[in-house]
Chain A
Amino acid sequence: MLTGLFFVANASEPGKLLIWADDTRAPIMLNVAKQFMQVYGVEVEVQEIESGETRGQLATAGPAGEGPDILIGAHDWLGELILNGLIEPIVLEPATIAEFNPVAIDAFKWGNLLYGVPYATENVALIRNTDLVPEVPATFEELLTVAKGLTDLEAGEYGFLIQQPDPYHTFALYTAGGGYVFGKDADGVLSPCDIGLDNAGSIAGAVILDQMVKDGIEIAGAGYGEVTGAFNAGSLGMMIGGPWTLSDIKANSINYAVSAIPTIDGNAPGVFVGVQGFMISSFSENKVLANLFIKDFLISTDVMLGLYIEGDRPPAYLPALAFLGGNADIQGFAAAAATAVPMPKIAEMASVWDAWIGALELIVNQEQDPATAMQEAADEIRALLGCE
């Protein structure tokens, strides 16, 4: 009874906009909401919701008529949200589309429809402590030599760490040799049964990881907290990390630089690129109003810069990006993104993570040889997706 009454106040209702945003984006949305109120006299409520919970909450709240009008999320949610019928296509004028990073627009496309307005791209890059590693290593092989020289496990000093077991952060290792998650069919659409985690390139990447462990460079137990903690303490030379690590690095006054991940065996590695954006719920009672809010108020250099300052993620809106043009961090992440692969947005991706994490765990723990581990992971995914 009480929950029923409680939700009345927090549902998409005619003539009032409800936005779901996480704690870093909510204050910016609130600012824009005030402007919207002044111009159109329409109340905009911003409800804080943890990013990781948005999808699940939307799946239950949306169909029950208790969801938001606008939500903020990542492009790789698209598959699941569209299969569930939870989000609505958005039509942008060609001139507006031209103001965005084409990669970001593509990321939010499903078929030929656009399902979200992007505001930031994010990808990992090589982040190094410039006091420990003044020069960017020219090749990955050189990087490993430098790392070896800096590593002293007994003393708690590390040369180069990739957080483990983590497919997202290790992805560059596989792509350099031609590894991939899902292959594309003739139309360029991802095909869920073409799994490339056990092809030669992926296995070559897993072998590099295995060798890094054997050489005592990479270590088990190095999760996100441990790797960033070591970097922020100044006891780690290089790591693979994203824009979200920067605010803590700055807070700890570590001298750092962001650059592309060096070539492996002469090939440029690709990282995953994720795109954050605004989406409109299918269950919104105010779709035109929500469109108006996004198109006339959120697509502006001020708002996009505000979102950049909160998250350090490079804007997808080109005027805002141009404004930040000289920023070395953004250039570093952009260099790493030059050969980036969009994070697969098909819902089948959900089957990939666990098996892949398991394989990396077995490699890093030295329980299984890298080729077998990757093969078994790929087979496990095929079986889960019914591909045999």
Chain B
Amino acid sequence: MGGSTSSIMIWGYTAKHGLKILFLGILCAVSVYVFVFLIGKGLYVPAVMPLIGSGLISYIFLSEKRYPIRWLIPGLLFLAVMVVYPIGYTFVSSFTNVGTGHMLSKDQAIDHFLERSYTPDNAVAYNYTAFADTSGDLALILEGADQMILYVDGRATDIARSDPRLVDEDSDGTPDRFGNYSRLTIPETVQRLSVIEDYRIQYKDTIIGLESLTKFRTRSSQYSYDPDSETMTDLRTGMVYTAWEGIFTAPDGEEIYPGYKVGVGPRNFVKLLTNPQISGPFAKVFLWTFIYATLTVLLNFALGLFTAILLNDPFLRFRTVYRVLAVVPYALPAFITILVWRGMLNVHFGVINDIFLALFGSGARIPWLQNAMWAKISVLLVNLWLGYPYMMLISLGALQSIPGSLYEAARVDGATWWQRFWTITLPLLLMPLAPLLIGAFAFNFNNFTLIYLLTEGGPAIAGASTPAGATDILISYTYNLAFAGERGNQLGLAAAVSVLIFLIVATISAVNFRMTGTLEELSKNV
């Protein structure tokens, strides 16, 4: 069809069409390549996604009726890949046992056992020589203590040293050619090593495998697997291990690892709600997360609005300078500033306590990060410093949009500054800002960076006997659960907590939309 770039119509197609089809062709070709590549790795769900994506894009771009959607489709596809897919994946994971000891798929775990081999007592070691013919096919000559084996085309046969096909041109004792195969040098052999490594040479009733660069050796498989009964048998001991909840288990309870991922139904959620080790702190952590996120939004908004009103005063000199300075905390990367704050709040080495000591004497050493109450205050203060510039910026913008005539009218009516603030400024500000405030709430609800870098969830609580600290919020607590409990990673359980957090945040968002709708109704009546 029209790959032409000329501006002349060819068979009814213009150059623009040609480019479009070329682009779509490349897109489809790439997605087919990725599909084949991912299928080869056994990743079926991710493999289908680019196909669906490119198919959808092609349909929309080629169909005149779907014209408007073409501007939305890139965003929608990215939404699917970056938001919907991870949420779905987390949701699915929350119903599995994925975690330390259960990281592989069942097939991978079975392969792992089937690859285990050991050297039997009567093992024979073979030196070997590799040959290749002009088309690159390999032949191997294995030399044991008292036999020579030829391995070619997947079959092993005895071969005599005097065989006429073996030619030793330089008479060094090693044949240089075998029929039309010629010997490989060591670097050439090394190049083919990963192929040779996979050979399992069946010779009489033994299996011979590559052991090192220069040697083959008799090997015996350690396990055999029976797919019908789902049992793994250790051929050396005769012990039979049955697949049971993601692990091969012997009748006496002995487990062999690795285990594999398997669905466990709602067990993670049940554990979350019934295990006192987890559910005990869950309620407390949930409460603090709520208090922390609410207070953060209120404090940050209050300070942000206050500075915005100050900086909005047309009679203030150097307004721009102050505005720039006030934005600094927002402009610096939080990763760095939080760590700086952590250093400044250090009880013995921090500059803040140094100042307090200089001002108020030696009794004024405040345990900023050591005491539960002070640590909570520290979290709120640092977050205030980090967050108020954002609130100031959005308030500044919103303040400009309030018509000055309203204030004039209020002044004429004799309203005080307070009255004007409460009855004009705040209601008119909240209308556009409410969604942003709720967004800030949702953001701080999951503000892992702040908690993890500033307090790591600490300090520990005396007598708590659980892994949650005084400033842990749900997301940092989830992190602890996921990476620091039992045998390390309890990803399934952590996914279950994530699903709960998602539901909470989704509820907040739903409320957000409803409130926004309500406020719009309100604004129409103003």
The answer to whether A154 and B362 touch across the interface, beta carbons within 8 angstroms, is yes
Contact check, A288 vs B37: say whether CB atoms are below 8 A apart: no
B10-18, B153-161, B377-385, B461-469 - the one binding chain A: B461-469
Q: Does A367 make an interface contact (CB < 8 A)?
A: yes
Cα A311 to Cα B459 in complex, Å, equals 33
Q: Which residues of A contact B108 (CB under 8 A)?
A: 63, 85
Q: Is B127 among interface residues, defined by CB-CB distance under 8 A?
A: no
**Closest residue of chain B to A225, judged by CB?**
B343
Query: Which chain A positions have C-beta within 8 A of B466?
Result: 380
Instruction: Flag if A85 contacts B362 (CB, 8 Å).
Output: no
Residues from chain A with Cβ under 8 Å of B50 in the complex: 1
Contact with B along A33-61 (1 / 0, CB 8 A): 00000011110000000000000100100
If the complex has contacts A39-B187, A362-B462, A383-B277, are A79 and B193 also in contact, measured as CB distance less than 8 A? no
Partner of B486 from A63, A153, A289, A351 at Cβ < 8 Å: A351
Q: Do A79 and B465 touch (CB < 8 A)?
A: no
Within 8 A of B (CB), among A336-378: 347-348, 350-351, 353-355, 357-359, 361-362, 364-365, 367-368, 372-373, 376
Choose among A80, A221, A291 the residue that contacts B347 (Cβ–Cβ < 8 A): A221
On chain B, the residues within 8 Å of A353 by CB distance are: 484
Which residues in B have their C-beta under 8 angstroms from that of A368?
A: 462-463
A347→B483 CA distance, assembly (Å): 11
CA A63 to CA B105, docked complex, whole Å: 8
**Chain A residues, Cβ within 8 Å of B144:** none
A383 — which chain B residues lie within 8 A by C-beta? Answer: 277, 465
Please tell me if the beta carbons of B34 and A1 are within 8 angstroms of each other in the complex.
Answer: yes
- Identify the closest chain A residue to B196 (Cβ): A288
Q: How long is the Cα–Cα vector from A75 to B459 in the complex, in angstroms? A: 30
Q: A220-B367, A361-B460, A383-B277 given as contacts; is B487 within 8 A of A80 (CB)? A: yes
* A288–B257 CB distance below 8 A: no
- B112, B197, B371: the one contacting A287 at CB < 8 Å is B197
Inter-chain contact A354/B484, CB cutoff 8 Å: yes
What interface size band does chain A fall in?
Answer: 35 or more
A138 at the interface (CB under 8 A from B): no
CA distance A364 to B460 in the complex (A): 11
CB distance from A94 to the nearest CB of B (A): 14
A221-B348, A365-B371 known; A376 vs B34 contact (CB < 8 Å):
no
Q: Which residues of A contact B486 (CB under 8 A)?
A: 348, 350-351, 384-385
Closest to B30 in A: A1
- Tell me whether A222 and B348 are in contact in the complex, defined as CB-CB below 8 angstroms, given that A350-B484, A350-B485, A359-B460 are known contacts: yes
Q: How far is the CA of A94 from the CA of B265 in the complex (A)?
A: 49
Considering residues B212, B370, B459, B487, which has the most beta carbons from chain A within 10 angstroms of its beta carbon?
Answer: B487
Do B100 and A84 touch across chains, with their CB atoms under 8 A apart? yes
A157 CB to closest chain B CB, in angstroms? 12
- Of the four ranges (under 10, 10 to 19, 20 to 34, 35 or more), the interface on chain B belongs to 35 or more
Q: Which residues on B sit within 8 Å (CB–CB) of A56?
A: 489
* A219 in contact (CB, < 8 A): yes
- Chain A residues whose C-beta falls within 8 Å of the C-beta of B31 in the assembled complex: 1
Please, which residues of chain B bring their CB within 8 A of the CB of A175? Answer: none
- How would residues 465 to 492 of chain B score, 1 for a CB under 8 Å from any chain A CB and 0 otherwise? 1110100000000001001111111000
**A302 at the binding interface (Cβ < 8 Å):** no
Q: B residues 301-326 with Cβ under 8 Å of A? A: none
Contact of B350 with A by CB under 8 A: yes
A249 → B minimal CB distance (Å): 18
Can you name the residue of chain B whose Cβ is closest to the Cβ of A89?
Answer: B116
Q: Is A4 in contact with chain B by the CB < 8 A criterion?
A: yes
A40 to B105, CA, bound (A): 35
* Cβ B193 vs Cβ A291 within 8 A: no
Task: Using CB atoms, name the residue of chain B closest to A82.
Answer: B257
Any chain A CB within 8 A of the CB of B346? yes
Cβ A42 vs Cβ B465 within 8 A: no
Tell whether A379 is near chain B: CB-to-CB under 8 Å.
yes
Cβ 8 A contact of B488, one of A39, A80, A229, A358: A80
How far, in angstroms, from A262 to B376 measured CA to CA in the complex?
Answer: 40
Shortest distance between the CB of B428 and any CB in chain A (Å): 45
User: Contacts A85-B258, A221-B350: A291 and B212 contacting too (C-beta < 8 A)?
Assistant: yes
Indicate which residue in B34, B103, B362 contacts A4 across the interface (CB closer than 8 Å): B34
Say whether A251 faces chain B, with CB atoms less than 8 Å apart: no
Q: Is A286 part of the contact surface with B, judged by Cβ < 8 Å?
A: yes
Q: Which residue of chain B has its CB nearest to the CB of A8? A: B37
- The answer to whether A282 and B193 have CB atoms under 8 Å apart is no
Contacts of B346 in A (CB 8 A): 221, 223, 226
Partner of B213, one of A230, A282, A288, A351: A288
Q: Answer whether residue B437 sits at the interface, using C-beta atoms and an 8 A cutoff.
A: no
Q: Which residue of B lies closest to A365 (CB)?
A: B370
Known: A84-B258, A221-B369, A384-B485. A367 touches B193 (CB 8 A): no
28 residue pairs from A and B, CB less than 8 Å apart: A8-B37, A15-B192, A40-B186, A40-B187, A41-B190, A63-B105, A63-B108, A80-B487, A80-B488, A83-B487, A85-B109, A85-B112, A219-B347, A221-B349, A226-B348, A286-B193, A347-B488, A350-B485, A350-B487, A351-B485, A358-B469, A361-B370, A362-B460, A365-B367, A365-B370, A365-B371, A383-B277, A384-B485
Name 7 extra pairs, CB < 8 A, besides A15-B192, A288-B213, A350-B487. Answer: A85-B258, A226-B346, A226-B349, A347-B100, A358-B469, A365-B459, A380-B277
A residues neighboring B (CB under 8 Å): 1, 4-5, 8, 14-15, 39-42, 56, 59, 63-65, 79-80, 82-86, 153-154, 219-223, 225-226, 229-230, 282, 285-289, 291-292, 347-348, 350-351, 353-355, 357-359, 361-362, 364-365, 367-368, 372-373, 376, 379-380, 383-385
